[in-house]
Structure 1
Amino acid sequence: MRINLDFGAILERWPAFLSGAILTLELAVIATVFGTVIGVLGAIARRSDNPVATRVAALYVETIRNTPLLVQIFLVYFGLASLGVKFPAFTVAAAALTINVGAYTTEIIRAGFDAVPKGQLEAAEGLALSRWQIYWHVVMLPAIEKVYPALTSQFVLLMLASSVTSQISAEELTAVANYIQSDTYRAFETYILVAIAYVVLSLVMRAGFWALGLALFPRRRRLGTPL
């Protein structure tokens, strides 16, 4: 059996693919930024002496990590609608992705906090550093540096997982591909191009994180290992 591939009708719709790819990156960037904020706060809460904060953070993490992303998206999308609150699909998708990646980021950053040696904290206190200086220079930056490769991998996976937001009509790359293949009846060719597009987006994100690692972590820059 011969496969007759024809990419002509698909490539004619490159502006739609480009628009979907840009929206996919926008979702990934928004979720990465706000998910990191949630992750840092969640990690602090999980290591807090306040039992209420610790339990709330643990409940959030375990709930999100043990339910499918698609279910979470539906809960946010249809849950808000049932309350009479309606947002564009893009806003709901960004919120759901942020909530999801925030839970995973919390655990990754918490592992980084736990990896900071206690002797390092004692040495900082012996140098009479302020509490803020200790937390930022001795705890936060070294902890994030240790788990930076895991964080970047998680964020790239988040970008790939954003494809499920097509189920609520977010106009990202997979949703655009669904429309094009239903219009051209060239499903195989369409998804070949989409797969290539996701590979390119992954490489773009990894390059961005590599450059960010060079800027944030001078020691890794000297060693040549920003990721």
Structure 2
Amino acid sequence: MNYTLDFAPVIEGLPNLLAACLGTFTLAICGMILAVIIGIGGVVLRQSTLAPVRWLVIGFVELIRNTPFLVQIFFIYFALPLIGVRLDPTPTAIIALGINGGAYAIEIIRGGVQSISKGQMEAGLALGLHKAQVFRLIILKPALRAIFPSLTSQFVLLTLTTSIASAISAYELTSVSQRIESDSFRSFEVYFTVTVFYLVISWLMMRLFAFFSARYFAYPVK
């Protein structure tokens, strides 16, 4: 079977694809920020003295980790309007990414927090710091330093998960590429190009995380 490559539709749609890459970055970064907020908040609540609060966090983590992301994003976009909560595709994708990433972040950050010795916590309390100050000043940064590689790997995966947002027509790379493919029927050329774009996006994300690691989480040189 002979197949003649024709990248003309891809070249013609390149401005739209590049703009869609920015849309993918936007979804990923916003989703990561929300995931970190949920992750840190979940860890704090997970340590609550109130058992129902701890069970609520555990239930949330298990629910999100054991259901498909596609079902989660469909629930937010199609089911919530039935109770009056209507969101556009982009906010829906950001919230779904944040919730999904946050569930994994809770467990990753909790592992980092548990790696900090109780002696450091007790020393902070002995110095007169409040529990919130001990958590923020003594526990959180060393914990993030310890789990930063695992957390960044999860966030790179979250970046690639943005492609599922095409199912609700959110403005991102896969959604735009599907439109170009449906207009041109050049599936190989379109998805080959998109594959390269996702490789570049993942590489840029890893370089960004490496910068933050060196800037904020590197051990001081003695």
Distance in 2 separating the partners of 1:94 and 1:134: 31
Secondary structure, aligned partner of 2:15: helix
Trace 1:167-182 onto structure 2 (pairs within 5 A).
167-182=167-182
Whichever residue aligns with residue 47 of structure 1, its letter is Q
Deviations 1:101-127 (A, max 9, x none): 11001110011111111222234345x
Contact 2:39–2:102 under 8 Å retained in 1:
yes
Distance in 1 separating the partners of 2:218 and 2:145: 10
Partner of 2:156: 156
Partner of 1:87: 87
Whichever residue aligns with residue 191 of structure 1, its letter is Y
1:52 and 2:58 correspond: no
Secondary structure, aligned partner of 2:147: helix
Deviations 1:16-55 (A, max 9, x none): 1011111111000111001100000101111222212101
Partner of 1:115: 115
Shift of 1:222: 4.1
Shift of 1:2: 4.1
Contact 2:35–2:105 under 8 Å retained in 1:
yes
Partner of 2:71: 71
Partner of 1:39: 39
Distance in 2 separating the partners of 1:129 and 1:173: 51
Aligned residue pairs total: 221
Distance in 1 separating the partners of 2:54 and 2:216: 29
Unaligned 5+ segments in structure 1 are none
Q: CA RMSD in A?
A: 1.6
Deviations 1:35-84 (A, max 9, x none): 10000010111122221210110010000000000000000001222223
Distance in 1 separating the partners of 2:43 and 2:125: 22
Distance in 2 separating the partners of 1:22 and 1:222: 37
Task: Calculate percent identity across the aligned residue pairs.
Answer: 39
Contact 2:145–2:218 under 8 Å retained in 1:
no
Contact 1:47–1:110 under 8 Å retained in 2:
no
Secondary structure, aligned partner of 1:87: coil
Secondary structure, aligned partner of 2:94: helix
Contact 2:17–2:177 under 8 Å retained in 1:
yes
Contact 1:46–1:57 under 8 Å retained in 2:
yes
Whichever residue aligns with residue 209 of structure 1, its letter is F
Distance in 1 separating the partners of 2:16 and 2:170: 13
Partner of 1:210: 210
Deviations 1:164-204 (A, max 9, x none): 11011112100111111111110011001001000111111
Unaligned 5+ segments in structure 2 are none
Shift of 1:205: 1.0
Partner of 2:106: 106
Whichever residue aligns with residue 179 of structure 1, its letter is R
Whichever residue aligns with residue 81 of structure 1, its letter is P
Whichever residue aligns with residue 164 of structure 1, its letter is I
Distance in 1 separating the partners of 2:101 and 2:30: 11
Distance in 2 separating the partners of 1:92 and 1:39: 19
Distance in 2 separating the partners of 1:9 and 1:138: 55
Contact 1:181–1:190 under 8 Å retained in 2:
yes
Contact 2:145–2:217 under 8 Å retained in 1:
yes
Distance in 2 separating the partners of 1:199 and 1:16: 18
Bigger mean CA offset, 95-104 vs 130-139: 130-139
